[in-house]
Structure 1
Amino acid sequence: MDITAAVARGADAPLAFETVTLEDPRADEVLVRIVATGVCHTDLVTKSVFPAELPIVLGHEGSGIVEQVGSAVTDVRPGDRVLLTYSSCGDCSRCTSGLPSYCENFVILNTSGGRADFTSPLSIDGTRVMGAFFGQSSFATHALVSRRNVVVVDRDTDLVTYAPFGCGVQTGAGAVANVMRPRPGDSVVIFGVGGVGMSALLAARALDVENVVAVDLSAERLAVAKELGASTVIDGAAEDVVAQVHAATGGGATFALDTTALNPVIATALQALAPMGTLVLVGLGEPTMDLEIGHLTGNGKAVRGCIEGSCDPQEFIPQLIAWHRAGKFPIEKVIRTYPFWEINQAVHDAESGSTIKPVLVL
């Protein structure tokens, strides 16, 4: 079938709406009409590195309505409302242990530009277009996804507000809920309160953590963080960030989250921890980092990586929805919606930081 997609043709070119041919579903695939899709930092990073000769359809925070299912899909039906998340194989030891975000085939399934067999479901005039980004490529009117990408939700679910739950929101919230697992008396400091950091803040508050510190360069974002329950907000450009965190937490935070992937910020986050504290890293950016080993061996601190919130989306996304419906996770306060046709404006606003979490509405 022919669909309309926002095609990336190089780092510096704007996304262009083009008619793209989408294959029919294979036996284990589901055809979804996209209703909304978030714009994630990973989309921006990928666009910046994909060469112009390899056009790709990005987007991996989709939501929509099922239109068709493959012959092997028995528990998803046309008309179902769904949220889309990352892809996993379901067969490796990590998937079968309940850790699909660490799937042994994660890179192939999510960032190779195609399916597990390296084919793409997308083409233009018979020429391959890189697709199946995070198993979705949801910057389009329709997406062809595997069954494991699909989280079926109730028919009254708000598909616009919940669209980003499949990546950015579960990444931040899951880092707190599934990796840190803080108790109410613990303290959490978050470096970078964009969409991921705000989601982490909301998760900490949903878990009744009262001492949550937000660090960012944007006064506007810090104001929103304060509104959402941060007990202390700190200008990341200040010379005494570590001292301010220690003062706010009584000697250092129990947990720190870095969303920036910037070496100086990571070093600051490690220093901001109390002895025996844990730093969780979720950002994509600098490939290496410098650490003072003494912070680890001398104080028992730990550094832990986390991808996609270390969660099984089939279990964690319903938990996030339950928190939201109970008034404990007001993610709508950081979302700004854009018509699909304004995707380049949404990308610009995400890059500039003027919008915390853009969501495109089709």
Structure 2
Amino acid sequence: MAEYTVPCKGIVAYSQTEWKWEDLLTREPLEDEFMIEMIATGVCHTDISGYGGIYPRVLGHEGAGRVVRLGSPKQSSSYKEGDLVILSAAACLNCHYCNTGHPAYCVQHAALTLAANEPNFVLASDKTKVIGGGYFGQSSFATLVPVKTSCAANVTKLVRDAEELKLYAPLGCGIMTGAGAFTHVGKCQPDDVVAIVGLGGVGLAGVCAGKHLGVKNIIAADLVPSRIELAKELGATIGLHSAPDKLNGKDLSAAIKELTPGGLGCTHILDSTPSVAIMSQCLESIQKNGTVLQVGVKPVGAKIELDTLTHMVNGRRLVGVIEGDRDPAEALPELVQWSKDGTLPMNKLLKEYPAKEFDAAKHVMEDGSVIKSVLVW
């Protein structure tokens, strides 16, 4: 039985819609963990939509904070108290995928991320009320948290102070996913023709990655005109308002193809939407030998209808991508540098909220008026 001796405050999700600020107690870190004082945490649609369906639990998986205590002397070769870290998804670090550079596909991924429900917290007012934690290895919707070292990247040498670190809290999930989909999965080249459908944080990170790679044709599609304009500021070469009444009677695939050289379609499309119908349209929008990179989470159990002969003879590829297929220890310092260089201007993507104003931060994510809410502890 864990000893709950460390006071903290956090947001407890009692259901998908009921989140509550609570006084909590947590435990000391284990040998594969360290204690992190959270500085800022991005709010992700995965948190809001209740994937995993386990309650009560402390969610949060885009954390950034300061190391306050090591769980084992062995960690001292990589971390010390006071180091600044950005958090991503935990991994076992021992399986085939972890050992070959693909920790996002760790055999324990589900158990360590969406399904994680360790007895890491209790209510301070009633120690019999256990609250689940360990979400993505972090549960970063709390002020002080035992965190698995496998989900962390040490960015102390890159980041000036805690104030600057707030900008980078969201890098560990959606931003890494969108960027890595183009840089490490699609491996896009300057002569490729890419489209990004859905311009939230994931999609806009894809735009930035395309520009970073020198891609000459970057199409940005969304339902919200302001997001299309922002995508063009970030490097998209052409925007497409993808609402049906704005497509002049064409379907989305025809509208995208019309914007490509020779009308051939795209070599790569990043689909960050929750819609299976949109994903089907993306498949119709690619060139022969083209690739659709699926980063948008579809409804559980959703299936796509596919003409397998057409799919085969056109050499089409549909590739699922999580976490950009990146190792966070390598990817996150790289993305911090992108931000410092101006390639990935995080200040244009996020809005900060005091952590107690989590309801407001959720609401603006749900209505789409803010690209990325960040809770500041």
Instruction: Specify every segment of 5 or more residues in structure 2 that has no aligned partner in the other structure, as ranges.
Output: 1-5
* Residue 151 (structure 2) aligned to one of 149, 168, 186: 149
Aligned position for 1:135: 137
2:89, 2:172 within 8 Å by CA — same for their partners in 1? yes
* Pair 1:172 & 2:175 matched: no
* Residue 267 (structure 1) aligned to one of 280, 298, 308: 280
Matches within 5 A, 1:82-161: 82-114=85-117, 119-124=118-123, 125-153=127-155, 154=157, 155-156=159-160, 158-161=164-167
TM-score (norm 1): 0.94
2:59, 2:133 within 8 Å by CA — same for their partners in 1? yes
Aligned position for 1:361: 376
1-side partners of 2:309 and 2:254: how far apart? Answer: 19
1-side partners of 2:209 and 2:375: how far apart? Answer: 24
* Residues 299-347 of structure 1, C-alpha deviations (whole Å, 9 max, x = no match): 1111111111000111111211222222222232111111111111010
Instruction: Specify every segment of 5 or more residues in structure 1 that has no aligned partner in the other structure, as ranges.
Output: none
| Alignment-mate amino acid for residue 135 of structure 1 | G
* Residues 126-156 of structure 1, C-alpha deviations (whole Å, 9 max, x = no match): 3221111111111111221111111111251
Percent of aligned pairs sharing the same letter? 36
2-side partners of 1:44 and 1:333: how far apart? Answer: 22
1:8 Cα shift?
Answer: 0.8
* Residue 31 (structure 2) aligned to one of 27, 33, 38: 27
1:199, 1:331 within 8 Å by CA — same for their partners in 2? no
1-side partners of 2:310 and 2:186: how far apart? Answer: 19
| Alignment-mate amino acid for residue 224 of structure 1 | L
* Residue 333 (structure 2) aligned to one of 315, 318, 323: 318
| Alignment-mate amino acid for residue 111 of structure 2 | I
1-side partners of 2:330 and 2:337: how far apart? Answer: 11
TM-score (norm 2): 0.91
Aligned residues: 354
Aligned position for 1:55: 56
* Residue 222 (structure 2) aligned to one of 213, 216, 233: 216
1:249 Cα shift?
Answer: 1.4
2-side partners of 1:295 and 1:234: how far apart? Answer: 26
* Residue 297 (structure 1) aligned to one of 312, 330, 347: 312
1:293 Cα shift?
Answer: 2.1
2-side partners of 1:169 and 1:210: how far apart? Answer: 21
1:236 Cα shift?
Answer: 1.7
* Residues 275-301 of structure 1, C-alpha deviations (whole Å, 9 max, x = no match): 110011112122322223244212111
Aligned position for 2:291: 278
2-side partners of 1:32 and 1:207: how far apart? Answer: 34
CA RMSD of aligned residues (A): 1.5
After superposing on structure 2, the runs of 4+ consecutive aligned residues of structure 1 that deviate more than 6 Å are: none
* Residues 75-120 of structure 1, C-alpha deviations (whole Å, 9 max, x = no match): 2111001111100000001101111000000001112233xxxx32
Aligned position for 1:2: 7
